[in-house]
Amino acid sequence: MNFTWSDAAYFWPEAIMALTFIACVLTDLVTRGRRHGVTLSVLIAGTVVSLAMTVIKAPEASHYVFGQMVVIDPFAHFFRYVFLFVTLVTAVFSYSSREIMGKDRENQGEYYSFLAVMCFGMMVMAEANDLLMLALSIELVSITSYIMAGYARFSLRSTEASLKYVLWGAMSSGVMLYGASILYGLTGATGFSAIREGLLAGSGSELALLVGMLFVLAGIGYKISAVPFHFWTPDVYEGAPTPVTALFSAGPKAAGFALLIRFFYTSLVQTDGTGGVTLLEGIQWPWLLAIMSAVTMTWGNLAALRQTNVKRMLAYSSIAHVGYLLMGFVLLTQAGLQAILFYLLIYAIMNLGAFLVVIALNNRLHSEHMDDYAGLGYREPILAGAMTIFLFSLTGLPPTAGFVAKFYLFAALVDSQLWWLALLGVLNSVISLYYYMSIARSMYFTPATETGGLGLSRAHVALVVILAVPTLVLGLYWSPVKALADSSLAFLLGG
Amino acid sequence: MHQQFATVFVFMLLGLAFLFVSQIASKLLRPKNPYAAKQQSYECGEEPEGSPWIQFNVRFYLIALFFIVFDVEIIFMLPWAVVFNEMLGTVGPLAFWEMFTFVCVLLVGLAYVWLKGDLDWVKTIIARDDDELVNRGLSRYSSGDKLGKPGLGASEYV
């Protein structure tokens, strides 16, 4: 147990988020829960300081902290940016949401403390280097998610969402811990790299290894909502307050991918020194994951086709996007992983944007039904225009960021000559075009029943535009962001 | 290696044997004289009435949750306290301040439940309107409570 302050200094952004959580709780107590604007300011201040620390103290190599439980490397560093960005955006648009901050709601101040602790949990998920830390960080994010899903506690849908989430989550955590215990039994270690050494030394039963890995995969699969562990997703996404849904679709999903990549690449993979990697043991992981990816995107897209509730549609579309992301994971190449990281960042921006429009409309229309969006193209031209950009980007049409992100994914697939999966991915994108565009069609080509603007606050519209700009700009000029994503993988693959 | 588990096995066997031997021995030795009063759940005290499958007040679970917070605190503090003397020469100050921080964080938890009124058995619920009260099958409780707002009193919690 070597605890050194110099390595611990790299843990500052996380420590600050933990402190922010406590500060938010205290602020809410001191103000007796009546001034939730103050709590929001505390959260934003904490997040900004954490972001500043992230920028100042960028790790140039792998730093192991807390007895190798946590590793801080450029890979985790990249995800910090994603999580802090998601937290900031969610915090701001939660404040403008009727569903959470409405006059008839309770405990608004407490809500922000959950955002802080969720951000902390996600950051630790991307840094976990030990089975114990893996379980702990997933639980931290999950338990916070259950509370947030049920935040509108007098809404039946929200409470139902929360309960379903708890039941699924408890089951998945149990299965995952069981798998972890099997891995520990086989290798005698809980650290990811120690597990690899145990496997290299010969682990004995191949069946036990398969079962253990599958169970851990199930736990992570639940977090990223990959088919067949996705059943909770549509109900929870539909029932939870919209800002919370937006957070779920961008934050914990990215954290799940970070964990998946780190776990697989540190414990199961052997690098050959030239950037290529080979898998340990004889199990056909790529095949298993390729099938999972194909099923996930197809299922998500086909189910989304039939939805008329925009929130539920976006839930299924988020499942489909997990399928696309898994395509990059299957390849076991550097290009594939780089594409995933880039895609996750772009996905966070465009998906948050789309949800932000849904929140803005829900504030006025009190509905997420597609028919109620009729004629919005003329009633709220800026909002509808931004929504169209987000939808184009989610489909992957040029000149948006979504196109570039998808292009890198498919390029990586074609490089590895995995033709059938690439073809399936393209077909799926075509399917997704139909349902994304049906929202746009409703906004522009269905006549409105009422006329006149919705009277949305300028700040809200400005926020939507702020997210629409990078969605467009990154579609034309993306090289700095891509370079950041690429460089963040160096130490993970280097050994 | 398997030798070590033999001890565990013998221990399990002895445990089972003790159970059965003592049960059988007492069955053979004790006098047998059952009558109605003796067959009741409690031989003395309250007479049981109705089914035990009733709805419990949700506050019991809340109290259990608070208990866990402090229970876990003690679980973490006990091993720390045991080895603290040995740590004094080396990482003593660090260990002390770490535990100090830990207890402070839990104190925030105590402050939270206290200020939210969860330590009072009778908690005031603020209902937003009459419809909600009716929907939840409750009636308005009008005695003056702390906040001076319409609330629900003890009657809900009996």
Distance CA A493, CA A268 (A): 12
CA atoms within 13 A on the CB side of A250: 31
- What is the Cα gyration radius of chain A? 22
Interface residue of A1, A29, A106, A117 to substitute, partner B, most B CBs within 10 Å: A29
Minimal C-alpha gap between B132 and chain A (Å): 10
In a domain, A224, yes or no: no
In a domain, A355, yes or no: yes
Give exposure, B126-141, as e/b (b: 16+ Cβ within 10 Å): ebeeeeebeeeeeeeb
Cβ separation A29–B105 shorter than 8 A: no
In a domain, A435, yes or no: yes
In a domain, A163, yes or no: no
Q: Indicate the pTM of the whole model.
A: 0.84
Distance CA A411, CA A423 (A): 12
Cβ separation A154–B132 shorter than 8 A: yes
**pLDDT confidence of residue A257:** 93
pLDDT band for position A3 (50/70/90)? low
Helices then strands, each counted (H, E), chain B: 4, 2
Contact A301, A432 (CB under 8 A): yes
Distance CA A21, CA A87 (A): 12
Cβ separation A3–B105 shorter than 8 A: no
Minimal C-alpha gap between B33 and chain A (Å): 49
**B59-87 and B92-115 are packed helices; what angle lies between their axes, rounded to 10 degrees?**
170
Tokens 């890979």 found at: A75
Q: Quick one: tokens of A179?
A: 């798998």
Q: Quick one: tokens of B81?
A: 């306290």
Contact A110, A119 (CB under 8 A): no
Peptide bond into A399 cis (omega under 30): yes
In a domain, A172, yes or no: no
Residues of B in contact with A32 (CB under 8 A): 115
Distance CA A184, CA A195 (A): 8
Interface ipTM: 0.74
Interface residue of B69, B97, B105, B110 to substitute, partner A, most A CBs within 10 Å: B105
Cβ separation A26–B132 shorter than 8 A: no
Q: Is A5 on the interface with B (CB under 8 A)?
A: no
Contact A180, A192 (CB under 8 A): no
Greater confidence (B130 vs B102) lies with B102
Burial of B56 (0-12, 13-18, 19+ CB in 10 A): exposed
In a domain, A336, yes or no: yes
Minimal C-alpha gap between B143 and chain A (Å): 23
Interface residue of A1, A154, A155, A159 to substitute, partner B, most B CBs within 10 Å: A154
Interface residue of B87, B106, B107, B116 to substitute, partner A, most A CBs within 10 Å: B116
Flag whether pLDDT at A256 surpasses 90.
Answer: yes
CB-nearest partner of B112 from A25, A104, A154: A25
Q: Is A26 on the interface with B (CB under 8 A)?
A: yes
**pLDDT confidence of residue A493:** 62
Lowest model confidence (mean pLDDT) among A96-110, A368-382, B80-94, B119-133: B119-133
Lowest model confidence (mean pLDDT) among A103-112, B60-69, B91-100: A103-112
Cβ separation A25–B105 shorter than 8 A: no
Flag whether pLDDT at B139 surpasses 60.
Answer: no
Mean pLDDT of A420-440: 91
Which of A 96-155 lie inside 8 A of B, CB atoms?
Answer: 104, 154
Q: Is B10 on the interface with A (CB under 8 A)?
A: no
Cβ separation A29–B112 shorter than 8 A: yes
Minimal C-alpha gap between A459 and chain B (Å): 30
Peptide bond into B79 cis (omega under 30): no
pLDDT in tens, B98-118: 889 889 988 888 888 888 877
Q: Quick one: tokens of A70?
A: 């946590």
Residues of B in contact with A102 (CB under 8 A): none
Contact B117, B66 (CB under 8 A): no
Flag whether pLDDT at B153 surpasses 60.
Answer: no
Contact A493, A271 (CB under 8 A): yes
Tokens 């103050």 found at: A38
Lowest model confidence (mean pLDDT) among A147-156, A418-427, A452-461: A452-461
* Structural domain boundaries enclosing A479: 284-495
CA atoms within 13 A on the CB side of A104: 10
| Total number of domains in chain A | 1
